[in-house]
Amino acid sequence: MRATHLFTITTLIAAAVSLSSVARAEEPEELLELGYGHPGNNRLSVSGGMLEGERPWTPDGDVAVDPNVNPNPVPPTPVATPLVEPKEKYNRAVGWVTYEYYSFWDKTRFDTLVGTEFLVGAGYLTPEKADPERVIERSANWSKPHLKAEFAFDYAPIHWGGGLPGRLVFGLGAGAELGSYWQNEDGRTYPLVAGRAQLFPNQSFGIHLAYHWMPTCTGNYKVREHRYEATVALGSWQLGVHGTETRVLDASDTALMSRHLGGLIGYTF
């Protein structure tokens, strides 16, 4: 009986020591500073998808009317109150090519990580197809080519090693986009709040979740935007999905918004 008790106690002590060593284990030094994991800090990616939403009904003078559609479409009748603008649904295809740099350069005395992220991208948005379907004139303000740049300081208050290294990251920065949507004529600047969760099961596999929040922006309307991304890293390649929800804050009808959903393929180095 005593032998059994001694064996049980020894086993529990050994398990406790083992778990303690795993919990305190440092993540590999080569992973500490690498934003995207073992392949490196840089990512070149291509993404594409569809954007659809609701915007104010566009008067006749701003669009070229499809000859197969009623040449004088009648806007919906405002209901309940004159503050409610007539709306129409629209959609357009979206594609981006982006370069991103994401890295940690220092480990603080509190065992936290400090770093930065930087993004530049070029995109193309097809002309809007509205309801009823109409084609935007070439002289309209909703531009098709877009350029953007974003920068943020990152802080990882929690990171761990052991058998499943990972980190939680928060960031704060700003961005600018050159190119117009219906809610802004020429471009916009905006603050950014970022969050990331990453797991690195081994050197050839990783899981990356990212969130970026644009609380407001410059332009004709104040716009709030939420961006989501989920990717799986297979060696140097990343495959995933991303989505954006954009909501107009100060339009007379607060339901004006759009959603974008697409796929992403990236190469990290």
Q: How far, in Å, are 41, 151, 257 from residue 55 at the CA level?
A: 39, 29, 7
Q: How far, in Å, are 45, 57, 209 from residue 85 at the CA level?
A: 39, 8, 37
Residue type, 19: L
Phi, psi of 60, deg, nearest 5: -55, -40
Predicted confidence (pLDDT) per residue in 49-97, tens digit: 999 998 877 664 344 444 444 555 555 554 444 445 677 888 899 999 9
**What is the chain's percent helix, strand, coil content, to nearest 5?**
10, 55, 35
pLDDT(26) > 70 = no
The predicted pLDDT at position 3 comes to 54
| Closest alpha carbon to 62 in 130, 144, 126 | 130
Overall average pLDDT of the 159-165 stretch:
89
Please measure the distance between the N-terminal and C-terminal CA atoms of the chain and give it in whole angstroms. 59
Overall average pLDDT of the 14-27 stretch:
41
Overall average pLDDT of the 228-248 stretch:
96
Residue labelled with tokens 């929800």: 245
Cα 45 to Cα 263: distance, rounded to the nearest angstrom: 10
- CA R_g for the chain: 25
The predicted pLDDT at position 256 comes to 87
pLDDT band at 266; cut points 50, 70, 90: very high
* Stated pTM of the model: 0.77
Of 1 and 130, which is predicted with more confidence?
130
